[in-house]
Chain A
């Protein structure tokens, strides 16, 4: 199967895709974009969260064929022209990154939250990120990072 998908603004075309492959597998193993992570590959951990036509999804639960002709944005597409997005910057500065395996998915989820809710309450942050598991941080500094990013975006 041939898959043609726009990823981070660039059209990617890959051939010989087995129909059982997920969007996550195709991104990671065929398109050279391993930023989205494979912590559970069953939609429980959120480490593979990407935008599919602007909606955050678990790339592991999307069959590669479902992404044909659609637009995907991954963690690799959050920075623009070498400048980190404020959410990325905040994760580094707040110490929200330890092993970092959950980080790509959390960044997309937090990015999506702040697009929808520019000044979220702590409960709103917790609810929005409840589908993203982190094993290292206990989430405290992830909350700090999202608060910091929200504050920075409010006062650019």
Chain B
């Protein structure tokens, strides 16, 4: 259970859907256990303070005025009338940004408040603070902005045309990733190809973007905000506010889900500007409609793929072209192109490859990070094409994937050695062998049928289909990024009890990182009571809560800080006991000798002192890829998952009921097995949503469905039971052998669902989300 695991066989295969609930009081709570999350009770009593719950004496409300146009020149802004509204305390425009009027995750290319141009519908133009949110909204409506509407680039397929208007200078290309490997003129006896289109998905986290900015006596600001990475926010805020980091202090407020949508700034600079101007605490909280304009989305994609294979289905070559619509600002587009290009052919052995992946600027909503980015879009293409290949060579979908599946020791399409487990064939076999749901009864409950209580069918016209998909995803940041986390751990006696306090800035967004931090401290320090310090910028960066990286990287930092604390404690104990440090260990608040005998208590060693250590953890370095060939060790770790979907489709009405969505995933080491399964369930649901219902509909640069009435996410009636099998092939390079968990299920579930619907209705279905008219062909 402790220390680094070697590379060994799977040790857990749990159907955790039937796992009995544990009891809180008797759980030791070390790694490999599933202790309850420390914020659980606060969350079920309503006491947990989410960003939108914050309140401060004398606070005022901030709102944002946004552009109604996808592309326009701002001729002038008149705030006079807005300022006369009783209750209004400030109205700000671009002129009021004290620092550089620019922010952005990778490139600071987006104005904090629009200056001269607006480049997408919803771009922030002005801010209002008032004593009531409705007053602020009404005042914002009285700001007069004179726009000259400009031609907009709204079809990314033409964004790089010579006559396309430039969204930015020098042009509309964000990144082109070119990858060439092996023989470019090779041919094959079997050739299959297709075009696939993927719609724009929204993260649809439930907690709206919110924050409370409190002006401080030193002229700086304290911002309490829901985010995924406090320090990258701080860096951007310092630039825009023209302040040093010590005056821009961020504190993580309760986060109501994230899924990539909180990587970019939302209320941060705006609320701070208003607070600094008014001298009052300012709360901002988006409505759901504003939220659809207030964060980036998953890139819609257009993919053209071709596989060449031997007659037995063995892949000879793959060619792919991927186009991603980045919208009006860069955000994470370059990294999304990086993933789509380097991983976009899936977990297969392919000797000869040509890939071109493009991200472009348009006047559509900006797109950026969402769970599984780059791989989610590509998987719909490579998995649909794998089924085509299966048909062409007369194999079943599982066998053709197993025949081509990546194995440990292979090199992927960038030439990178896969140097830990790659159980593609095994994962597929596991899902294929799981029990299938029973055949539908002739008198099935309406709620179990497509159309449900809409009473659209009693079973007539309903056809069952089964589909498979498999994926792999990079874990952590790639292509040479200095990806690290910091942890501070303190051990002291409080009221006669040993207490460890763990302080990181790594964002807890619901996934359970705080539980993992506690488990690691308990494991390494042998104490029961672990306090998780509030997350803020008073400690070094925890890196981003994204790329499935926190248990790995922040987990590694917490482990390192614990080991450092333990070393100090044991050195002190060794000195006072007159023994070698190597003969001592720390367990259950005791210093224990080599044969388990208790030598002294932790209380005696610590006395009144606290031992505190801070450590940074970096995973193995990654490297930039070659600009001509795309070759290189771009990634640090790969995680694999497979899904099998079973659907009932009313082929006459185009309605789908997902009957089962089963999965197997290698997680390296399950630090918290229950939480791992929870991640897999939730990720699977989001993938299914993209396959069947989730799309931000954008026409001519305008979002047509910015609400939960019209943007549909799966309900409990839409979700099927899910069997989950977890493999633990430890990665010898990662702390405890862990492998990132959060993203793979979002990647492989959607293509499996799409394949199942295809199998049921017999149509090619080259676009997701699949709509009823695609199924019926009407």
Q: Which residues of A contact B (CB under 8 A)?
A: 18, 20-21, 28-29, 32-42, 44-45, 47, 74-76, 78-79, 84, 88-95, 97-104, 107, 123, 125-127, 129-144, 148
Check: B263 CB closer than 8 A to any chain A CB: no
Please pick, from A35, A91, A102, A148, the residue contacting B46 in the complex, using a CB distance under 8 A.
A35
Please pick, from A47, A93, A137, the residue contacting B682 in the complex, using a CB distance under 8 A.
A137
Q: Are A142 and B43 in contact (CB under 8 A)?
A: no
Check: B481 CB closer than 8 A to any chain A CB: no
Q: Are A76 and B719 in contact (CB under 8 A)?
A: no
Check: B707 CB closer than 8 A to any chain A CB: yes
Q: Are B207 and A39 in contact (CB under 8 A)?
A: yes
Instruction: Identify the interface centre among B204, B287, B713, B715: most chain A CB within 10 Å of its CB.
Output: B715
Q: Are A135 and B288 in contact (CB under 8 A)?
A: no
Sampled A-B contacts (27; CB under 8 Å):
A18-B134, A34-B46, A34-B55, A39-B207, A39-B288, A41-B288, A44-B709, A75-B44, A88-B41, A92-B40, A93-B24, A95-B678, A97-B40, A99-B206, A99-B256, A100-B43, A100-B44, A101-B510, A126-B717, A129-B716, A132-B716, A134-B716, A137-B681, A138-B714, A138-B722, A139-B681, A141-B681
Given A123-B445, A135-B713, A44 contacting B707 (CB threshold 8 A): yes
Q: Are A130 and B716 in contact (CB under 8 A)?
A: yes
The number of chain B residues with a CB under 8 A from chain A is 68
Q: What residues on A are CB-neighbors of B722 within 8 Å?
A: 138, 140
Shortest A122–chain B CB gap in Å is: 8
Check: B448 CB closer than 8 A to any chain A CB: yes
Q: What residues on B are CB-neighbors of A135 within 8 Å?
A: 203-206, 257, 259, 682, 686, 713
Interface set, chain B 673-715, CB cutoff 8 A to A: 674-675, 677-678, 681-686, 707-709, 713-715
Q: What residues on B are CB-neighbors of A21 within 8 Å?
A: 134
Q: Are A36 and B678 in contact (CB under 8 A)?
A: no
Q: Name which residue of chain B comes closest to A34, CB basis.
A: B53
Q: Are B682 and A40 in contact (CB under 8 A)?
A: no
Q: Are B44 and A103 in contact (CB under 8 A)?
A: yes
Shortest A51–chain B CB gap in Å is: 14
Q: Are B45 and A99 in contact (CB under 8 A)?
A: no
Q: Are B287 and A41 in contact (CB under 8 A)?
A: yes
Check: B751 CB closer than 8 A to any chain A CB: no
Q: Are B682 and A98 in contact (CB under 8 A)?
A: yes
Please pick, from B48, B257, B447, the residue contacting A136 in the complex, using a CB distance under 8 A.
B257
Q: Are B207 and A95 in contact (CB under 8 A)?
A: no
Q: In the complex, A138→B510 CA distance in Å?
A: 13
Shortest A100–chain B CB gap in Å is: 3
Check: B50 CB closer than 8 A to any chain A CB: yes
Q: In the complex, A48→B92 CA distance in Å?
A: 32
Q: In the complex, A101→B52 CA distance in Å?
A: 11
Q: Are A35 and B682 in contact (CB under 8 A)?
A: no
Q: In the complex, A78→B45 CA distance in Å?
A: 8
Q: In the complex, A102→B254 CA distance in Å?
A: 13
Q: Are A88 and B206 in contact (CB under 8 A)?
A: no
Q: What residues on B are CB-neighbors of A143 within 8 Å?
A: 716
Given A36-B46, A75-B46, A130-B717, A94 contacting B21 (CB threshold 8 A): yes
Q: Are A139 and B685 in contact (CB under 8 A)?
A: yes
Given A136-B682, A137-B681, A90 contacting B45 (CB threshold 8 A): no
Q: What residues on A are CB-neighbors of B719 within 8 Å?
A: 138-140
Q: What residues on A are CB-neighbors of B397 within 8 Å?
A: none
| Given A28-B53, A45-B206, A135-B205, 16 additional A-B pairs, CB 8 A | A20-B134, A21-B134, A33-B46, A34-B53, A39-B207, A41-B288, A42-B709, A78-B45, A92-B24, A92-B40, A95-B678, A134-B206, A138-B714, A140-B721, A141-B678, A144-B17
Q: In the complex, A71→B60 CA distance in Å?
A: 30
Q: Are B715 and A130 in contact (CB under 8 A)?
A: yes
Q: What residues on B are CB-neighbors of A133 within 8 Å?
A: 206, 708, 713, 715
Q: What residues on B are CB-neighbors of A99 within 8 Å?
A: 205-207, 255-258, 509-510
Q: What residues on B are CB-neighbors of A100 within 8 Å?
A: 39-40, 43-44, 48, 254, 256, 510
Interface set, chain B 348-381, CB cutoff 8 A to A: none
Q: Are B510 and A140 in contact (CB under 8 A)?
A: no
Q: Are B44 and A37 in contact (CB under 8 A)?
A: no
Q: What residues on B are CB-neighbors of A33 within 8 Å?
A: 46
Q: In the complex, A44→B677 CA distance in Å?
A: 27
Q: In the complex, A60→B547 CA distance in Å?
A: 35
Q: In the complex, A35→B258 CA distance in Å?
A: 20
Q: In the complex, A126→B579 CA distance in Å?
A: 62
Q: Are A92 and B682 in contact (CB under 8 A)?
A: no
Q: In the complex, A53→B132 CA distance in Å?
A: 29
Shortest B81–chain A CB gap in Å is: 21
Q: What residues on A are CB-neighbors of B433 within 8 Å?
A: none
Q: Are A136 and B674 in contact (CB under 8 A)?
A: no
Please pick, from A44, A75, A90, the residue contacting B21 in the complex, using a CB distance under 8 A.
A90
Interface set, chain B 436-455, CB cutoff 8 A to A: 445, 447-448, 453
Shortest A38–chain B CB gap in Å is: 6
Q: B495-511, CB under 8 A of A: which get 1 and which 0? A: 00000000000000111
Q: Are B44 and A92 in contact (CB under 8 A)?
A: yes
Check: B474 CB closer than 8 A to any chain A CB: no
Q: In the complex, A136→B644 CA distance in Å?
A: 20
Interface set, chain B 541-589, CB cutoff 8 A to A: none
Interface set, chain B 1-35, CB cutoff 8 A to A: 17, 21-24, 34
Q: In the complex, A137→B714 CA distance in Å?
A: 11
Q: B136-172, CB under 8 A of A: which get 1 and which 0? A: 0000000000000000000000000000000000000
Q: In the complex, A142→B722 CA distance in Å?
A: 13
Q: What residues on A are CB-neighbors of B448 within 8 Å?
A: 123
Please pick, from A41, A76, A101, the residue contacting B207 in the complex, using a CB distance under 8 A.
A101
Q: Are B50 and A42 in contact (CB under 8 A)?
A: no
Q: Name which residue of chain A comes closest to B135, CB basis.
A: A18
Q: What residues on B are CB-neighbors of A136 within 8 Å?
A: 257, 510, 678, 682
Check: B512 CB closer than 8 A to any chain A CB: yes
Q: What residues on A are CB-neighbors of B132 within 8 Å?
A: 18
Please pick, from B45, B46, B55, B674, the residue contacting A95 in the complex, using a CB distance under 8 A.
B674
Shortest B773–chain A CB gap in Å is: 24
Q: What residues on B are CB-neighbors of A44 within 8 Å?
A: 288, 707-709
Q: What residues on A are CB-neighbors of B714 within 8 Å?
A: 138-139
Shortest A116–chain B CB gap in Å is: 17
Shortest A81–chain B CB gap in Å is: 13
Q: Are B707 and A42 in contact (CB under 8 A)?
A: yes
Q: Are A144 and B46 in contact (CB under 8 A)?
A: no
Q: In the complex, A78→B43 CA distance in Å?
A: 13
Q: What residues on A are CB-neighbors of B207 within 8 Å?
A: 37, 39, 99, 101
Instruction: Identify the interface centre among B22, B257, B258, B721: most chain A CB within 10 Å of its CB.
Output: B257
Q: What residues on B are CB-neighbors of A138 within 8 Å?
A: 681-685, 714, 719, 722
Check: B335 CB closer than 8 A to any chain A CB: no
Check: B659 CB closer than 8 A to any chain A CB: no
Q: Are A127 and B447 in contact (CB under 8 A)?
A: yes
Shortest B746–chain A CB gap in Å is: 11
Instruction: Identify the interface centre among A28, A97, A136, A137: most chain B CB within 10 Å of its CB.
Output: A136
Check: B414 CB closer than 8 A to any chain A CB: no
